[in-house]
């Protein structure tokens, strides 16, 4: 890139938001502190025009036609597995009126157009503050800033909202409730695509008590968009993200190592599966946790344990106590090792401590038995000498 970055006369600290910076008179270049691609030259912004994001017709997930519904569930599962992103087509019975989607855009823009002093009343102080307004990502620590202002509001289970604009609270509460319903329906379809009951994931994560956050990103016009970055590459750490766009391009997602442009359909959501959901679905696919297989695994494990224990008891009566102790003491570490190797079970610190303790117990037992054998051997030798 050959574009030059001219420094502004005003120091960057004079601007509490990128909107204020973008509205500076005579701005024809960005400050060097916003030149993201000067400091990240190897990040590709190319995209493959032949690749398109899967489109899921949301209405088919609740269709009365079982074949259509089954196909929609399969398509949803495939989109999650192959992409992690998919679009929901706007349909008549989707639950969120187009008028509400437009209204939430308008009222959010009204918030960003409020006086800077009023918005700064919600300036970020702590990540768990229920209403947070700010710029970039973490402006107090960053060297290179992102070209965006943001508003983050906790809307569930406890509802919060800025005081202004006046109608913001009413619209946001309705929008949050409707999108929560869409998310629940999507989770039901994802659960079924994994061979689980429809409400499995929602019940597992206590969905009704989960945290829902409304996030609005404001990207003002930029004189050098080839150098600036709105949001840096990232993954969403939550469950699901329902992204509503205003028709302005620029969003890209990574697929198979290639950045793909997102050409949003009118009145549609771009749905992103977050890290939390990906962890659940990945485990379910690896273990193929259908309900019947789940119970079969439990029963087979129970039988295996019984056979091991019966074998250990048989060894106790038929062979030496030392050998039976070895068999019993090794059951725990062997079982855990097999679970990690074949079932990809997690191995947290607690399991490591328990295995270390079992090994210590086994070595202590083994050492005690050896000492007992030596003691008995000496007694036998002393008895032979006395006779």
pLDDT band at 165 (very low <50, low <70, confident <90, very high): very high
219 shares its domain with 363: no
48 shares its domain with 72: yes
Alpha-carbon gap, residue 65 to 75, rounded angstroms: 15
CATH number at residue 174: 2.60.120.330
H, E, C per residue of 276-324: HHHHHHHHHHHHCCCHHHHHHHHHHHHHHHHHHHHHHHHHHHHCCHHHH
End residue of a domain, out of 239, 269, 287: 287
102 shares its domain with 249: yes
Mean pLDDT of the chain: 77
* Residue 225 forms part of a structural domain: yes
Q: Model confidence over 181-207: pLDDT tens digits?
A: 999 999 999 888 888 888 888 988 889
77 shares its domain with 221: yes
* Residue 4 forms part of a structural domain: no
End residue of a domain, out of 245, 270, 287: 287
* Residue 2 forms part of a structural domain: no
59 shares its domain with 158: yes
277 shares its domain with 207: yes
Domain interval for residue 117:
17-287
Average pLDDT of 84-92? 50
Q: Model confidence over 300-346: pLDDT tens digits?
A: 666 666 666 666 556 555 555 556 566 666 666 666 676 666 655 66
Q: What's CA 7's distance to the chain center, in Å?
A: 38
* Residue 157 forms part of a structural domain: yes
* Residue 323 forms part of a structural domain: yes
Q: Model confidence over 106-161: pLDDT tens digits?
A: 999 999 999 999 999 998 778 889 999 998 887 777 778 899 999 999 999 999 99
- pTM, full prediction: 0.68
- CB neighbour class for 330 (10 Å; exposed up to 12, middle 13-18, buried from 19): middle
* Residue 9 forms part of a structural domain: no
155 shares its domain with 80: yes
234 shares its domain with 326: no
Is the Cα torsion angle 227, 142, 137, 211 positive or negative in sign?
positive
pLDDT at 90 over 90: no
End residue of a domain, out of 287, 314, 330: 287
Share of the chain above pLDDT 70, in %: 68
Cα dihedral 67, 53, 79, 215, rounded to 10, equals: -110
Domain count of the fold of the chain: 2
* Residue 1 forms part of a structural domain: no
340 shares its domain with 300: yes
92 shares its domain with 208: yes
266 shares its domain with 118: yes
138 shares its domain with 230: yes
Least confident of 207-216, 303-312, 374-383: 303-312
* Residue 251 forms part of a structural domain: yes
Per-residue burial over 243-263, b if 16 or more Cβ lie within 10 Å, else e, is: bbbeeeeeebbebeeeebbbe
């Amino acid at each position: 890139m050959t574009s030059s970055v001219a420094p502004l006369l005003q120091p960057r600290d004079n601007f509490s938001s990128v909107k204020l910076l973008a509205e500076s008179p005579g701005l024809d270049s960005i400050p060097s502190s916003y030149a993201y691609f000067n400091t990240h030259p190897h990040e590709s912004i190319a995209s493959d025009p032949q690749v398109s994001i899967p489109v899921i017709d949301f209405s088919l997930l609740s269709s009365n036609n079982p074949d259509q519904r089954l196909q929609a569930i399969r398509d949803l599962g495939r989109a999650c597995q192959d992409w992690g992103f998919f679009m929901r087509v706007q349909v008549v019975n989707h639950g969120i009126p187009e008028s509400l989607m437009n209204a939430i855009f308008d009222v959010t823009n009204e918030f960003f157009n409020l006086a800077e002093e009023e918005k700064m009343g919600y300036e970020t102080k702590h990540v768990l503050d229920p209403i947070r307004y700010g710029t970039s990502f973490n402006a107090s620590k960053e060297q290179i800033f992102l070209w965006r202002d943001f508003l983050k509001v906790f809307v569930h289970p406890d509802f919060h909202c800025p005081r202004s604009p006046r109608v913001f609270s009413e619209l946001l509460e309705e929008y949050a409730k409707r999108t929560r319903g869409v998310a629940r329906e999507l989770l039901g379809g994802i659960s079924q695509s994994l061979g689980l009951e429809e409400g499995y994931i929602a019940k597992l994560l206590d969905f009704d008590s989960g945290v829902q956050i409304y996030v609005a990103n404001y990207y003002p016009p930029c004189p050098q968009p080839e150098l600036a970055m709105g949001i840096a590459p990232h993954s969403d750490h939550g469950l699901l993200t329902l992204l509503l766009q205003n028709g302005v391009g620029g969003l890209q997602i990574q697929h198979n190592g290639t950045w793909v442009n997102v050409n949003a359909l009118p009145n549609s959501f771009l749905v992103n599966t977050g890290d939390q959901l990906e962890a659940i679905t990945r485990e379910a696919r690896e273990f193929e946790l259908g309900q019947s297989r789940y119970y079969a695994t439990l029963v087979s494990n129970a039988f295996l344990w019984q056979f091991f224990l019966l074998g250990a008891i048989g060894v106790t009566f038929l062979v030496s106590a030392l050998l039976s102790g070895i068999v019993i003491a090794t059951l725990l570490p062997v079982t855990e090792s097999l679970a990690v190797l074949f079932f990809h079970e997690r191995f947290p610190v607690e399991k490591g401590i328990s295995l270390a303790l079992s090994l210590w117990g086994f070595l202590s037992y083994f050492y005690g038995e050896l000492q007992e054998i030596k003691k008995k051997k000496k007694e036998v030798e002393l008895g032979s000498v006395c006779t």
